[in-house]
Structure 1
Amino acid sequence: MATLYPLKFKTIFKDKIWGGEKIRTYLGKDFSPLPNCGETWEVSGVKSDVSVVQNGPLEGQTLAALLETHQEELVGKKVYERFGNEFPLLIKFIDANEDLSIQVHPNDELARKRHNSFGKTEMWYILQADAGASLIAGFNQPLDQEIYLEKFNSGHLTDILNKEEAKAGDVFFLPAGRVHTIGKGLLIAEIQQTSDITYRIYDFDRVDDKGNKRELHTEEALAAIDYNFYPEYKSLYKEKLNEPVEVVTCPYFTTNILEYTESVSRDYTTKDSFVIHVCVAGSYTLLYGEESLKVSMGDCILIPASINRVTLHAQKGFKILESYI
């Protein structure tokens, strides 16, 4: 059985009606075969799109096969006891050349009941934003299902949605149940539960190249929506150079931002979890034992739970999202 090491996976490209060019031009993934690449899946255990190892002796093996073989050595004892042979996180990049549909995701309980699936709690990190770009997260006023349906049925749904300007570096945490959409002009790194269940509420009456509108899930969404009003939807944090900053912690993942102009060692001994690095700026060399791996912007690296200590050797500086369970 091959020894585990930091893993990089083959990018899975997704064609979307609202996709654009930034996956290629900004992230440098110029091997995309798609003219409208809206998403890439970088680390995925979703059964229809399981990631395949790109680097090292395990090249060609699937994440699912590695998990079955290595179990807690790959993901950690507590994580394996909780999730078994289902990898619990999905890592994406999303390029919105047009507004995405207004949508909502079910929580664990509803997703299990309806789809035998995890729910979908997620977070967004804004990598790049065109001038004036915005997104929707939650409601802008207190309401209940009755008021929601009144606005929806009268064609005034957008009147009750919370619209936020978005710029590079912004973080939005989106627990399951929060109505949301990514707006035109945003390039986003997304960390989420392993789930591909989306209830599409409204799609701006768009049609595909055959003149067909996309399916809506109006009724399904009603039981999934969190109708509560919250005073703040953006995750407020203070940027710190050469010091980790925790930006999201929830039952499904914790994410830190590490922005460094110098080398740093990370000790994961107490985590009992795999760790994922999403490089959102710059580059570094990941040192582990006697080995090393070059990491550049747009790379996503899965560090197995069996590797307790790594060093991130900075050339000119880097910024990463560091996530674990």
Structure 2
Amino acid sequence: MKIYPLKFTPILKQKIWGGISLINNLNKTSDFEKNIGESWELSGVKGNESVVSNGLYKGISIVDLLVRFKGDLVGDRVYKDFGDKFPLLFKFIDAADDLSLQLHPNDLLAKKRHGSLGKTEMWYVLDAKDGSKIYAGFNKELNIETYFDFFTKGKILDTIHIDEVKKNDAFFIDVGTIHAIGKGILIAEIQQTSDITYRVYDWDRVDNNGKERELHTNLAIDALDFSKKGSCRLNYTNKVNCTNTVFSCNYFTTNKLNIDKELKRELKKIDSFVVYMCVEGRGEIEVEGYVEDFKKGETILIPACASKVLIKTNKNFQLLEVYI
């Protein structure tokens, strides 16, 4: 496999709660004029497979690359576990309005119902307006009966833990956790490759046709984890020119890199692809002599067969580094 920093064409999604920050703040381009809620940066989801936008493999999808190069692309260990399915999905999300209160199933339930992976995810906050909120987890002891009592009385929000949000905050949203991104927040999301969401409350809003969006009340009950209480906020160090581990679980590890000089990253021992999401500033990524300009709002994949990465900048350059 030819080793170089791979970029992909973003897949933009209109959402009822979306805005224009993906265009104005992250330099995305779209035929849509408004309500642009998501930019799928790197996706192996069927029907939404990302396509390489640079270099030798330009025009080839991530799935076709995976079928062709297997462990060289994703790592032998990762390929053994996931085969020809790219295991993670990377997004930028602009919540101009509140997202629905929702949750995602675990691997077993998702496979049984949908033939899919579950949807464990984490969020990193690129920007947030004053007073913006994350709704995640319960704020009290509940069971099915008490949950339904609040739900039927239209008081489900009274049960949800709320965190005020600021730039650089991070949150881990485990499967079964009830949650919603509040309005005024720009987020980077790392998640398992899944598009399964159970919506339980949607703020009583209607679409352009005057219709409310579907709720998945009964599906959600079996997936809901009532033990998920309290804040989902992650505490991490945010030092310069070193590895700041934001979160690590069985599905992915996410590090935050704050760089103001040249930084070398040794990758030999990881045995995984590495994805970088630029959340602030501008710099360069060099792999095997190939140099790629890299700026805020862009995402790059480094194949697993790369031995090291050189990150170059002379000013504030902030990246999320993700691998399995």
Query: What TM-score results when the alignment is normalised by the length of structure 2?
Result: 0.98
Cα deviation for residue 166 of structure 1 reads 0.6
Q: Which residue does the alignment assign to 1:311? A: 310
The alignment-based identity, stated in percent, is: 48
**Any conservation in 2 of the 1:137–1:163 contact (CA below 8 Å)?**
yes
Moved more, 230-239 or 5-14: 230-239
**Which amino acid counterpart does residue 30 of structure 2 have in structure 1?**
S
Q: Does 1:174 align with 2:173?
A: yes
Q: Which residue does the alignment assign to 2:276? A: 277
Q: 1:243-280 CA distances to partner (integer Å, 9 max, x unpaired)?
A: 11111111100000000111100001100000000000
**Any conservation in 2 of the 1:283–1:315 contact (CA below 8 Å)?**
no
Cα deviation for residue 231 of structure 1 reads 4.3
In structure 1, list runs of 5 or more residues that go unmatched. none
Cα deviation for residue 4 of structure 1 reads 3.5
Moved more, 11-20 or 285-294: 285-294
**Any conservation in 1 of the 2:3–2:288 contact (CA below 8 Å)?**
no
Q: Which residue does the alignment assign to 1:135? A: 134
Paired residues for 1:125-274 under 5 Å: 125-274=124-273
**Any conservation in 2 of the 1:126–1:168 contact (CA below 8 Å)?**
yes
Q: Which residue does the alignment assign to 2:62? A: 63
Distance 2:179 2:261 in 1: 37
Cα deviation for residue 230 of structure 1 reads 3.5
**Any conservation in 2 of the 1:23–1:95 contact (CA below 8 Å)?**
yes
Distance 1:50 1:291 in 2: 25
**Any conservation in 2 of the 1:4–1:74 contact (CA below 8 Å)?**
no
Match of 1:94, SS?
strand
Q: How many residues align?
A: 323
| Alpha-carbon RMSD | 0.9
**Which amino acid counterpart does residue 212 of structure 2 have in structure 1?**
K
Distance 2:262 2:78 in 1: 29
Moved more, 141-150 or 153-162: 141-150
Q: 1:229 to 1:119 in 2, by over 3 A?
A: closer
In structure 2, list runs of 5 or more residues that go unmatched. none
Q: 1:278-319 CA distances to partner (integer Å, 9 max, x unpaired)?
A: 000011111112221111001100100011101101132200
Q: Which residue does the alignment assign to 2:102? A: 103
Q: Which residue does the alignment assign to 1:87? A: 86
Distance 2:237 2:58 in 1: 39
Distance 1:19 1:230 in 2: 28
